[in-house]
Amino acid sequence: MSRIEAIASELERLTIEVPSWAYGNSGTRFRVFGTSGTPRSAEEKIADAAKVNEMTGLASSVALHIPWDKVDDYGKLGRYASDVGIELGTINSNTFQDEDYKFGSLAHSDAAVRRKAIDHMYECIEVMNITGSRDLKIWLADGSNYPGQTDIRSRQDRLQDSLREVYDRLGDDQRMVLEYKFFEPAFYHTDVPDWGTSFAHCLELGPKAKVCLDTGHHAPGTNIEFIVAQLIRLGKLGSFDFNSRFYADDDLIVGAADPFQLFRIMYEVVRGNGLDPANNIAFMLDQCHNLEEKIPGQIRSVLNVQEMTARALLVDWDALKLAQDANDVLGANAVLMDAFYTDVRQDLAEWRESRGLPADPIAAYQDSGYQEKINADRQGGQQAGWGA
């Protein structure tokens, strides 16, 4: 039995949600670059997501962003997704682009602005009701740039009150996942800057509120795997947004900047039984492909997560525990490093082939002719991008 077959039952639990906006045009903070074959509609984004799933067998759901993916008939959109083998997943809210949100949204001092933001969340929940989506994801740009600009404590009170109204609208099988980010665009203080603040609000709200951990939303040197371990331990890790960062929130391909960090994160996921569907942890990508082609970028991303998950599953847990219990510092570290340095790429290629998937999904995509087809077909119209 191969190394991968020994962990197959666990590895098969891994599913990764791809973001619709990753298939649209993006770029630097100063310029959005156009590319051939870019989707012009939510349906075309879903078609591209379906192609990633066809190549990898890993990405059976796609997250939507409202209003970027707004359509007249969400039931029809859901049926289209089902027809191409994809589910509609997390519904992402947007309270950071309207002029009214210049000084905040759910934490704004103006009750009318807060009401507008809450009503938008209600709109997202209605989309969830139609599509059958489970999670409403909230990321807020709320904060301030200067000391004294605003009353930090009052903003937290208003934020909790607003979140409570949204939480109370959720259905029995629906959840809120509250994302955090320690800066940008607010530079002095951010209203949800860290996992502790998100956790505190979610704890007060109740069991349907969970923390969303974006791997790019931390200060340099942060031990992200500790946060993962703690949130799983507390039963409050709702979802991941996987990406990589070199400087700040770069939204690059996950594992590109620090594969060892991704391994350490997945090690804690495995340690905490986070792959068990009963724990309801959503593994989602949140990335922008600025220079590379969108679909191969998403394929590379999901394969990186799969590879580091496989390595984490290959940790010799018995040997590791013996070394840890004996305070064998180097021995315990060596057990972990042995798993990290295990090259599982060929094993995974053979495992994919045995399940009717391409051994090399990127090569298979390049040979499929799909990119050439969409380059030719998607002429005219408005290409999707940031804000569309």
pLDDT of residue 27: 73
pLDDT of residue 43: 98
pLDDT digits (tens, 9 = 90+) for 256-276: 999 999 999 999 999 999 999
Ordered structural domains, the chain, with CATH: 13-315 (3.20.20.150)
Mean pLDDT to the nearest integer, 69-74 = 97
Torsion of CA 366, 369, 371, 373, to 10 degrees: 180
| Secondary structure of the chain as H, E, C letters | CCHHHHCHHHHCCCCEEEEHHHHCECECCCCECCCCCCCCCHHHHHHHHHHHHHHHCCCCEEEEECCCCCCCCHHHHHHHHHHCCCEEEEEECCCCCCHHHCCCCCCCCCHHHHHHHHHHHHHHHHHHHHHCCCEEEECCCCEECCCCCCCHHHHHHHHHHHHHHHHHHCCCCCEEEEECCCCCCCCCEECCCCHHHHHHHHHHHCCCEEEEEECCCCCCCCCHHHHHHHHHHHCCEEEEEECECCCCCCCECCCCCCHHHHHHHHHHHHHCCCCCHHHCCEEEECCCCCCCCHHHHHHHHHHHHHHHHHHHHCCCHHHHHHHHHCCCHHHHHHHHHHHHCCCCHHHHHHHHHHCCCCCCHHHHHHHHCHHHHHHHHCCCCCCCECCC
Our measurement of the distance from residue 220's CA atom to the centroid of its chain's CA atoms, rounded to an integer in Å, reads 20
Q: Is the peptide bond before 358 cis (omega within 30 degrees of 0)?
A: no
pLDDT of residue 33: 85
What percentage of residues in the chain have a pLDDT greater than 70? 98
Tell me which residue has tokens 């409050």: 236
For all residues of the chain together, what is the average pLDDT? 96
pTM, entire model:
0.96
pLDDT of residue 339: 98
pLDDT digits (tens, 9 = 90+) for 196-226: 999 999 999 999 999 999 999 999 999 999 9
1 pLDDT more than 60: no
388 pLDDT more than 70: no
Our measurement of the distance from residue 119's CA atom to the centroid of its chain's CA atoms, rounded to an integer in Å, reads 24
Mean pLDDT to the nearest integer, 269-294 = 95
Mean pLDDT to the nearest integer, 224-239 = 98
Choose between 3 and 80: higher pLDDT: 80
30 pLDDT more than 80: no
Q: At what angle do helices 259-271 and 294-313 cross, to 10 degrees?
A: 50
Report residue 138's pLDDT band, with 50, 70 and 90 as the boundaries. very high
Report residue 298's pLDDT band, with 50, 70 and 90 as the boundaries. very high
**What's the distance, Cα to Cα, between the start and end of the chain in Å?**
49
